[in-house]
């Protein structure tokens, strides 16, 4: 120890700079900042700092601790120049990369099982679907234990409507036709309504509930459309509401 202390006192010790220490044990990920406010997203979490206002819509590189995603990220340009630290302003995603990978792996397995179920449903004929419906059995009529005679007078039969003339019938039909012209037209389903209907079906399948084969068939076809993909991106970016920092 005496020899070490003597040499340690005479030999200059090199120490790593703050910029070098930021690179130790930190993972890197290329991310594009939001065009609206400069927010960067990583595995469901949102990060932001004042300097990101000047880099809205740009491709950046973030470095982070894989075991502490909620601790914030260090932001760099693509040329390696350091911009600053962005704190986690919305910790709604995963806190470590391994948990995100496990979730992604489980989701892929679930989607594969759902596609197999959908393919099987598409191959079913109406007769196959009918065979899955349990037969309806008529409930037995309960046997009366107490019998009592009816003493109240029976109600008189309802009078028959009086016959109308051809002239009155013609006027009645004309009034009904006029009223039908003023009935409001049925509301058309918007893309957002269709996507919400698809999400309801997906949630039912994820919960293990059965859905009608025609709904499953419609969902499989709708998931292949450009409308579904665009609506899903809107939902993932904004969650069906206006986000604020």
The verdict on 90 and 21 lying in the same domain is yes
Q: Domain containing 219: what range? A: 98-131+193-237
The verdict on 83 and 123 lying in the same domain is no
The token duo for 198 is: 């698809």
What is the arithmetic mean of pLDDT over 3-29? 81
The verdict on 127 and 34 lying in the same domain is no
- Number of domain units in the chain: 2
The verdict on 210 and 127 lying in the same domain is yes
The verdict on 22 and 80 lying in the same domain is yes
pLDDT of residue 104: 63
Question: Is 4 inside any structural domain?
Answer: no
Sheet holding 59-64, edge to edge: 27-32, 59-64, 73-76, 82-90, 45-48, 40-42
pLDDT of residue 55: 93
pLDDT of residue 62: 92
The verdict on 36 and 54 lying in the same domain is yes
Would you tell me how many other CB atoms lie within 10 Å of the CB of residue 33? 24
pLDDT of residue 195: 87
CATH code for position 79: 2.30.30.130
Question: Is 74 inside any structural domain?
Answer: yes
The verdict on 120 and 24 lying in the same domain is no
pLDDT of residue 86: 93
Question: Is 136 inside any structural domain?
Answer: no
The verdict on 126 and 44 lying in the same domain is no
pLDDT of residue 240: 56
Residue-wise pLDDT for 107-163, tens only, equals 677 778 778 777 777 777 777 777 777 777 766 777 666 666 555 566 666 556 566
The verdict on 232 and 125 lying in the same domain is yes
The verdict on 38 and 49 lying in the same domain is yes
Question: Is 199 inside any structural domain?
Answer: yes
Residue-wise pLDDT for 84-99, tens only, equals 999 988 877 655 556 5
The verdict on 114 and 72 lying in the same domain is no
Residue-wise pLDDT for 165-208, tens only, equals 677 666 556 545 544 444 444 457 788 888 888 888 888 888 88
The verdict on 74 and 21 lying in the same domain is yes
Would you tell me how many other CB atoms lie within 10 Å of the CB of residue 27? 13
pLDDT of residue 133: 78
Q: In this model, does residue 244 exceed pLDDT 60?
A: no
Question: Given 95, 122, 144, which residue is the final one in a domain?
Answer: 95
Q: How far is residue 237's CA from residue 37's CA, in Å, rounded to a whole number?
A: 12
Residue-wise pLDDT for 51-86, tens only, equals 999 999 999 999 988 888 888 899 999 998 999 999
The token duo for 93 is: 């995603």
Question: Given 95, 122, 140, which residue is the final one in a domain?
Answer: 95
The pTM assigned to this predicted structure is: 0.37
Question: Is 137 inside any structural domain?
Answer: no
Question: Given 46, 79, 95, which residue is the final one in a domain?
Answer: 95
């Amino acid at each position: 120890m005496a020899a070490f202390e003597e040499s340690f006192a005479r030999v200059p010790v090199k120490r790593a700079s703050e910029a070098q220490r930021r690179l130790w044990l930190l993972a890197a990920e290329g991310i594009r900042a939001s065009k609206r406010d400069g927010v960067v997203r990583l595995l469901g979490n949102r990060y932001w700092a004042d300097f990101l206002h000047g880099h809205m819509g740009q491709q950046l590189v973030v470095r982070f601790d894989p075991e502490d995603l909620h601790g914030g990220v260090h932001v760099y340009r693509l040329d390696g120049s350091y911009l600053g630290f962005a704190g986690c302003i919305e910790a709604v995603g995963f806190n470590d990369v391994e948990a995100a990978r496990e979730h992604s792996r489980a989701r892929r397995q679930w989607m594969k099982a759902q596609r197999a179920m959908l393919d099987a449903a598409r191959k079913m004929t109406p007769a196959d679907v009918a065979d899955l419906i349990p037969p309806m059995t008529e409930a037995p009529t309960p046997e009366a234990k107490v019998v009592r005679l009816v003493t109240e007078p029976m109600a008189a039969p309802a009078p028959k409507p009086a016959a109308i003339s051809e002239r009155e019938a013609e006027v009645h039909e004309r009034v009904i036709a006029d009223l039908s012209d003023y009935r409001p037209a049925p509301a058309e389903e918007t893309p957002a309504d269709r996507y919400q209907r698809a999400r309801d079906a997906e949630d039912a399948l994820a919960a293990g509930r059965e859905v009608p084969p025609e709904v499953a068939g419609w969902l499989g076809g709708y998931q292949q459309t450009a409308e579904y993909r665009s609506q899903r991106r809107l939902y993932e970016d904004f969650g069906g509401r206006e986000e604020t920092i």
